[in-house]
Amino acid sequence: MSMHEYPSLVWHLKNTQLFEDLSAEELEQLARITPYKRFVAGEIIYHMEDPADALYFIRDGMVKISMYFPNGKEMILALLGQYDIFGELLLLPSERRPNQAEAVVDTTLIVLPEHDFQRLLSQYPALAMKFVKVMSTKLWQSQAMFAETGAFDAPGRLANLLLRLANDFGSPSERGTVIDLNLTQQDLAKMIGATRETVSHCLARLLEYGAVRRRRAPITVNKEKLLQFLDEATE
């Protein structure tokens, strides 16, 4: 790693939730063992069943976390952006990846090797507690998404998904909030457990309702209308 990148790495580490409380000196030490690694769009970061040998932080770009099933079907579990953490299940006893990570766009990651991460957790008890909080938040988010599957039909699940994406990745425009992620209807289907045809019908319904202003990438939504649609769906 060249010296001109070094301060930038410290700055990015400081802006991750896990390391935000470390001192400048501790961050300097951490930066020496956490190199950058770059991936081009579409490149696999790790496959399912690969050794769980590192924790990852997104410096810039976007990462898709997926699971693949024996029948070949893919379920997209999450889209992650700048400062997000993934690969956190490296501490599971199996020591194998339960999911796959892929760069959606050209992406730069900060890589923390598993043995160094284990040492940091032992050295800094406060860091271990922060990691537990991060894991708890991810567990809560997973449970909330699982609950949506039972509480909503396909249009409701899609509305929830679009609202999350708008909050996480959207940018304001005159027509609403633009989700400029180049997502296909097939991608959306893999995220809500539906078929592409079902997503197409759901988008048409949300478009008629006014919750979606543009249903092809970049998708544009009206967040207030999405919330109203979900409120009515639960009545």
Q: Would residue 96 count as lying in a domain?
A: yes
Q: Which residue has the tokens 């580490």?
A: 13
What's the pLDDT at 105?
Answer: 92
185 and 108 assigned to the same domain: no
pLDDT at 124 over 90: no
Rounded Cα distance between 169 and 218, Å, is 11
pLDDT tens digits, residue range 141-186? 777 777 676 678 999 999 999 999 999 999 999 989 999 888 899 9
Q: Which residue has the tokens 């935000």?
A: 20
| Cα-based distances in Å from 88 to 42, 168, 175, 184 | 21, 20, 38, 28
At which of 114, 149, 184 does a domain end? 149
47 and 143 assigned to the same domain: yes
Q: How many CB atoms lie within 10 A of CB 182?
A: 13
Residue 136's pLDDT band (cuts 50, 70, 90) = confident
Instruction: Annotate 94-126 with b (16+ C-beta within 10 A) or e (fewer).
Output: eeebebbbbbbeebbbbbbebebbeebbeebee
pLDDT tens digits, residue range 11-52? 888 888 888 888 888 888 888 888 889 999 999 999 999 988
127 and 211 assigned to the same domain: no
By C-alpha distance, which of 223, 217, 211 is closest to 163?
223
Percent of the chain with pLDDT over 70: 92
The total of structural domains in the chain comes to 2
- Helix/strand/coil for 63: strand
The pLDDT of 215-230, averaged and rounded, is 92
* Phi-psi region at 154: left, alpha or beta (left = phi > 0; alpha = psi -120 to 50): alpha
Tokens of 34: 């956490």
Q: Would residue 171 count as lying in a domain?
A: yes
Domain that holds residue 91: 38-149
Bridge-partner residues for 94, per DSSP? Answer: none
Tokens of 52: 């769980």
Q: Are 149 and 61 in contact (CB under 8 A)?
A: no
What's the pLDDT at 95?
Answer: 77
